[in-house]
Structure 1
């Protein structure tokens, strides 16, 4: 039996971060997008699948890095949180973005899982943020943009509701 009084909250946060339950998983939202459509726009949505994926990666990295590194400097808003182009710059960029997204997701999950992490303690280098708040921000932000990605995929004709 765990002696960590925050364990139940940790478990709920991890479930939220993993996706599923009432939320779409990152894998379901990003898998199977044909390379030719990764940079395609679907009117009236201004974002391509690539722009949404890369924005998710950059924002999650920033939140995780802020949570663990007092010296971290966030990108300039808003330009620093979005890629320059609509399409991946090379064939391997999509895979790299997904790999980096998973690595940073694992970093946040490890921070939340660690019983030494006080989820309620204010981050010394912040202005009131806690690990709890940052973990919920990661999940909330991801779910918002994954929903956008599904809309774009539907409009581009590369989405299936089948599991």
Structure 2
């Protein structure tokens, strides 16, 4: 790996962990009142729980697609969004956050040991660089929605 690749991976890692223009999921969820996890705001189609779970599912799918030629993505959009407004219990909430973090760590490690530009043989032109940018973009968008919901609920600093 040359120095340019190391620089790109370092910048992608920063971006995936919250970047310099966005906040991380951990910051967006810090001190969230548990009773707000399943609340929906007027004219909004989803709760904070549904956004967190959607981030988890989509990020997991991008990770699996990036490393496993046999991976089958969930059915869009039905299997990417939970039906329940709130997690059934604290364990489910904590497990989703844990998986998001561990999948993100695994993807960063994958970047560090992959050719960022080589087309994935099982895709239709995707490469690890594209998947990293898509993951960061997707997560940032939905993390912004979490912050907007918290502001609406009066639960943001």
TM-score, shorter chain, exceeding 0.5 = yes
Deviations 1:57-88 (A, max 9, x none): 00000000000011100000001101121110
What is the total number of aligned residue pairs between the two structures? 157
Q: Give the CA deviation at 1:25.
A: 1.1
Indicate which of 112, 115, 138 corresponds to 1:141.
Answer: 138
Match for residue 91 of structure 2? 92
Match for residue 155 of structure 1? 152
TM-score, normalised to structure 2, is 0.95
- C-alpha separation between the residues in 1 aligned to 2:128 and 2:14? 16
Deviates more, 1:19-28 or 1:97-106: 19-28
Unaligned runs of at least 5 residues, structure 2: none
Match for residue 62 of structure 2? 63
- SS at 2:44's partner residue? coil
Looking at secondary structure, tell me which structure has more helix per residue: 2
Q: Give the CA deviation at 1:20.
A: 3.7
Query: How does 1:20-39 map onto structure 2 within 5 Å?
Result: 20-39=19-38
- C-alpha separation between the residues in 2 aligned to 1:126 and 1:86? 33
Match for residue 9 of structure 2? 10
Match for residue 128 of structure 1? 125
Deviates more, 1:84-93 or 1:95-104: 84-93
RMSD: 1.2
- C-alpha separation between the residues in 2 aligned to 1:5 and 1:142? 25
Deviations 1:97-133 (A, max 9, x none): 000000100011101122xx11000000000000000
Q: Give the CA deviation at 1:3.
A: 3.8
